[in-house]
Structure formats: C-alpha cells, structure tokens
Amino acid sequence: MNGKIKGCILQVRDLHKTYGTGDNQVRALDGVDLDIYEGELFVILGSSGSGKSTLLNMIGGMDAPTGGSILFRGKEIGRFRDRELTDYRKKCIGFVFQSFNLIGELNVRENVELTANTKNDPHIVDNMIELMGLTEKKKSYPSQLSGGQQQRVAIARALAGDADLLLCDEPTGALDFETGKQILRQLERLSREHGKTVVIVTHTREIAQMGDRVITMKDGRVVDSYENDEPVPAERIDW
C-alpha cells in the first residue's frame, strides 16, 4: 500500500439500505463491507443503480442505513444524536456533487465561506480559493464561471471546513473531457501532495486507474476490490 497512507479512517460493515416494502421493496445496498484509509484516493466504481451514490450518502451521514454499521475513527455514526450527526457532516465530511450546488446569489468567496472553519484558520477561505487557482475569480458569481471553475469552487468549499473525508459524487459528470481532467488533477493533487482522503464515485472505468484502491459495485454489492500498485496519473487518463 502507498507509503503516504496511514491508519483506517472509516469502516463499513454489512451495510444494508432498503427502500419501500413488500413487492415494491428495493435493496439499494446489500451487505457492503469496506475500509478507507487516511491519505488515500479511493474509487467507488459502478453503473447507474449499482448503489454507489447511496453508499456515499450513508458514509456522509446524509441518510441512515437499514442495517449494518459505519465507524468513523472508531465511532459508530448510526448512534450519533442529531447534534453529533450535524457536527460530523459539517466538520468531518466535505461533499462535491456533479451539479456543483453553488448558491447563485453569492460570489466565489461567499460560497466558500459557507463551510469555512475560521476558528482553526482565519485565512482558510482565501487559502482554499488560492489552492484551487481561483484568486482572480473570488468576487465572481457562479453564472460568470465555467463549469470547471464552478466545480473547483465546490471543492474549495468542501475543503474549507477542514474535512477529514472529501466525498466526490461523479465530479466530472457534468463537464467536458478536458475540464473533467482538470478536476481529476485537482483531486489527485489534494491526495498526493496535501494528504487528503479523497473518495470518488464514478461510472467511468478509466478514472478508476488513478485510485490507490478501487471497489466495483453492482446491485448494491461489492463485486470486486483491488489495489493499484502504480496508480495512473490523472494527466494520462483518457475516456
């Protein structure tokens, strides 16, 4: 395993998620097990309906499982009270969505400020904007930005809360190839150079080549799991 990767940050055991009842029951997750380690770039691969986004929502505390457990740094998030769960989502998890989810009435800096943990670092907002190469755009509004720039704002916003886990749901899905590759380079850089734990959900098999470890999902189950001994740099990925 990559030398920069440290101890296990999150454990998922026998995770189930069922929607509906009787004949209308759908098993979105059907006994998922996985470990995620600090500092790694982890890829969840699967087609639409495989359960990968549902799994990401469970890990992020956005939805509750029907059964099984999710341990974050040894603590079962299913036992968190409302305040603890809110703190977990706010302080420990950073979300990056396919649709960016920026607030149109706020400029770049104001969007990033929404999650900023300024108590730990009063300069965190400007630091994250600079890290994403957006300093000259910090007074611009989402409508004045390209898709790639909007996604970089979303990443900066996710990082501003000093999150332990960066969860990215199809981060290139709404972007053209070249812009998508720029976003992958940014995520790769966050993991390789800054030691962030990055989880990417994707249906694009080629993107899995950049992960330290990869799981493939189908019908709510993990059907394959492997480690890339030599992850392919994002720059060399083509799809």
Q: What is the pLDDT of residue 15?
A: 98
- What is the DSSP code (8-state) at residue 92? I
Alpha-carbon torsion (116, 120, 121, 122), positive or negative: positive
Q: What is the pTM of this model?
A: 0.89
Q: Which domains does the chain have, with CATH numbers?
A: 39-57+82-236 (3.40.50.300)
From residue 206, alpha-carbon distances to 88, 129, 163, 217 in Å are: 32, 29, 27, 15
Q: What is the pLDDT of residue 116?
A: 83
Strand 41-45 and strand 213-218: pairing?
A: parallel
Q: What is the pLDDT of residue 227?
A: 96
Contact 211, 231 (CB under 8 A): yes
- Rounded distance between C-alpha atoms, residue 99 and residue 202, angstroms: 14
Per this entry, what is the length of the chain? 239
- What is the DSSP code (8-state) at residue 19? E
Render pLDDT for 196-220 as a digit per residue (tens, 0 to 9): 999 999 999 999 999 999 999 999 9
Q: What is the pLDDT of residue 119?
A: 66
Q: What is the pLDDT of residue 187?
A: 94
Q: What is the pLDDT of residue 1?
A: 54
Of 98, 239, 105, 95, the closest CA to residue 174 belongs to 98
Render pLDDT for 155-173 as a digit per residue (tens, 0 to 9): 999 888 888 899 999 999 8
pLDDT in tens, the chain (239 residues): 555 557 999 999 999 999 988 888 899 999 999 999 999 999 999 999 999 999 999 999 999 999 999 999 999 999 999 999 999 998 899 999 888 889 999 999 999 998 887 666 778 899 899 989 999 999 999 999 999 999 999 999 988 888 889 999 999 988 888 889 999 999 999 999 989 999 999 999 999 999 999 999 999 999 999 999 999 999 999 98
DSSP 3-state helix, strand, coil percentages of the chain (rounded to 5)?
35, 25, 40
* H/E run at residue 111: helix 108-113
